[in-house]
């Protein structure tokens, strides 16, 4: 009865946990199956396929698209802006009027300087006539030499005063001319910082009014390259890049300059690389972010393999090694020979190395070859014959 009672109590527990029991049976069965298969079949080589294809060694970075040359147009005089003749994206020619500052204060300065100049010239003319008269009197002996020298000094001082007033007048006229601001170059207005009625103060520094891009058909990208990669970058290297505005289009450029001055960003030393870009279709806009790929080297239709396939340290238990062959100059290759899987040694050299693949230079590589780069057990079935091919 006790046994039957225990059985009756066990069945409800089994029904409640039947899915866990089924899962346990499946896992345990699978484990025993694979363990049994491993014992019967053994394990083999870890291999990677050698294939033909193209290799590209590149450096990637991001940068900002900028005009080749931009000019900040400022004001050299203070005043209130009376009129603005251009706006964003306006095309301008050299000498075109961009802006005018209200000229009344500057005109008053011109008038004042002119009046001072006229007064100084009048005083100079009077002093000159006095000096010439006293010189004649001195020659006739009617005045002393001291009186003559005094009139000469007065005349010279009046002449200096005229020169000073002339300079002030010229400066006032020049400042009045500065009230009309013109474009220094042919280009496109890409920024405007002022509005009509705004007061411009040029007392301490020249305020920027406009930014003009000289030629938007030619742009540049300034991108930061880390010190680990900068040694591979040289002038003239080809560049491709994309921008978010045209995600399906790839643009081209050329490295123009590698600047020597470093910048430290987040404890990483980076160098600025400047890339020239043709923008004849004007698709690229100043300030766009460019995702740049700089092509360092390229190989076409070569033998290549993933980098992880070249980690083998020795040939122990894989193949007989005649002479001084090492994994540094030989590959353990698995290939089919006369219908059998065979392992052979093949001499090779490393060619171009990229972030993921390496070029294999060897005259003995064949289609279908696989590089052995490790073992995960000993084969017992004899499916692969160790040693050179028959």
CATH number at residue 89: 2.40.50.100
174 and 244, same structural domain? no
- Alpha-carbon distance 287 to 260, whole Å? 23
Give tens-digit pLDDT for 317-352: 676 666 666 677 888 888 888 888 888 888 899 999
Domain presence at residue 34: no
| Boundary residue ending a domain (277, 300, 323) | 300
Which H helix or E strand runs over 100? strand 97-101
134 and 86, same structural domain? no
Query: Across residues 137-150, what is the average pLDDT?
Result: 86
Q: Are 229 and 110 in contact (CB under 8 A)?
A: no
Query: Would you state the pLDDT for residue 140?
Result: 81
Query: Across residues 74-88, what is the average pLDDT?
Result: 93
Query: Across residues 88-115, what is the average pLDDT?
Result: 94
Torsion of CA 188, 192, 194, 200, to 10 degrees: -70
Domain presence at residue 19: no
- Alpha-carbon distance 200 to 77, whole Å? 8
380 and 310, same structural domain? yes
Domain hosting 369: range is 45-52+302-385
88 and 187, same structural domain? yes
129 and 245, same structural domain? no
Query: Would you state the pLDDT for residue 344?
Result: 85
Instruction: Indicate the range of 23-32, 43-52, 225-234, 266-275 predicted with least confidence.
Output: 23-32
| Boundary residue ending a domain (274, 300, 326) | 300
pLDDT higher than threshold 50 for residue 113: yes
327 and 236, same structural domain? no
291 and 230, same structural domain? yes
**Residue 285 to residues 192, 251, 254, 303: CA-CA distances in angstroms?**
16, 13, 18, 42
pLDDT higher than threshold 50 for residue 123: yes
Q: What percent of the chain has pLDDT over 90?
A: 57
Domain presence at residue 2: no
154 and 284, same structural domain? no
259 and 363, same structural domain? no
pLDDT higher than threshold 70 for residue 204: no
**Residue 7 to residues 2, 3, 4, 257: CA-CA distances in angstroms?**
9, 6, 5, 86
pLDDT higher than threshold 60 for residue 388: no
Query: Would you state the pLDDT for residue 119?
Result: 94
Domain presence at residue 375: yes
Q: Are 269 and 302 in contact (CB under 8 A)?
A: no
Give tens-digit pLDDT for 261-308: 999 988 899 999 999 999 999 999 999 999 999 999 999 999 999 988
Query: Would you state the pLDDT for residue 10?
Result: 60
- Alpha-carbon distance 227 to 229, whole Å? 5
Domain presence at residue 162: yes
- Alpha-carbon distance 383 to 340, whole Å? 7
Q: Are 189 and 212 in contact (CB under 8 A)?
A: yes
Number of structural domains in the chain: 4
Instruction: Indicate the range of 27-31, 39-43, 47-51, 178-182 predicted with least confidence.
Output: 39-43
- Alpha-carbon distance 248 to 331, whole Å? 41
- Give the SS3 label for residue 123: helix
- Best mean pLDDT range from 95-99, 140-144, 317-321: 95-99
| Boundary residue ending a domain (151, 178, 205) | 178
CATH number at residue 337: 2.40.420
- Alpha-carbon distance 102 to 79, whole Å? 6
287 and 220, same structural domain? yes
Query: Would you state the pLDDT for residue 382?
Result: 35
Give tens-digit pLDDT for 366-387: 898 888 887 654 433 333 333 3
- Give the SS3 label for residue 6: helix
Q: Are 371 and 348 in contact (CB under 8 A)?
A: no
pLDDT band at 40 (very low <50, low <70, confident <90, very high): very low
Output the pTM of the full model.
Answer: 0.68
379 and 316, same structural domain? yes
Domain presence at residue 32: no
Query: Would you state the pLDDT for residue 33?
Result: 41
339 and 280, same structural domain? no
Domain presence at residue 111: yes
Query: Would you state the pLDDT for residue 38?
Result: 39
């Amino acid at each position: 009865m006790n046994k039957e009672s225990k059985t009756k109590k066990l069945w409800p527990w089994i029904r409640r946990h039947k899915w866990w029991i089924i899962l346990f049976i499946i896992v345990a069965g699978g484990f025993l199956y694979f363990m049994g298969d491993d014992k019967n079949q053994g394990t083999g080589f870890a291999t990677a396929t050698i294939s033909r294809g193209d290799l590209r060694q590149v450096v990637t970075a991001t940068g900002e698209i900028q005009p080749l040359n931009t000019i900040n147009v400022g004001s050299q005089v203070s005043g209130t802006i009376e009129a603005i003749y251009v706006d964003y994206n306006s095309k301008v020619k050299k000498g075109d009027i961009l802006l005018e500052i209200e000229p009344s204060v500057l005109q008053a300065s011109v008038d004042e300087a002119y009046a001072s100049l006229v007064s100084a010239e009048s005083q100079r003319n009077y002093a000159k006539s006095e000096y010439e008269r006293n010189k004649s009197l001195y020659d006739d002996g009617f005045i002393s030499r001291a009186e003559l020298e005094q009139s000469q000094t007065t005349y010279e001082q009046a002449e200096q005063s005229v020169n000073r007033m002339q300079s002030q007048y010229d400066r006032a006229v020049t400042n009045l001319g500065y009230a009309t601001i013109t474009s220094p170059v042919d280009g496109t207005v890409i920024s405007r910082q002022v509005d009509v009625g705004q007061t411009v103060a040029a007392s301490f520094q020249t305020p920027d009014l406009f930014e003009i891009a000289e030629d938007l058909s030619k742009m540049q990208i300034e991108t930061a390259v880390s010190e680990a990669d900068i040694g591979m970058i040289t002038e003239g290297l080809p560049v491709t890049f994309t921008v978010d505005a045209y995600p399906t289009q790839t643009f081209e450029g050329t490295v123009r300059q590698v600047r020597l001055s470093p910048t430290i960003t987040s404890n990483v030393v980076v160098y600025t690389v400047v890339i020239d870009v043709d923008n004849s279709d004007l698709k690229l806009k100043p300030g766009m972010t460019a995702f740049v790929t700089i092509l360092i080297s390229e190989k076409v239709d070569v033998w290549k393999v993933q980098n992880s396939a070249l980690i083998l340290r020795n040939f122990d238990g894989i193949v007989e090694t005649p002479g001084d062959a090492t994994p540094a100059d030989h590959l353990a290759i698995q290939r089919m020979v006369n219908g059998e899987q065979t392992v052979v040694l093949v001499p090779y050299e490393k060619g171009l190395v990229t972030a993921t693949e390496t070029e294999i230079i060897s005259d003995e590589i064949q289609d279908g070859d696989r590089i052995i780069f490790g073992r995960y057990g000993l084969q017992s079935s004899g499916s692969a014959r160790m040693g050179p091919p028959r």
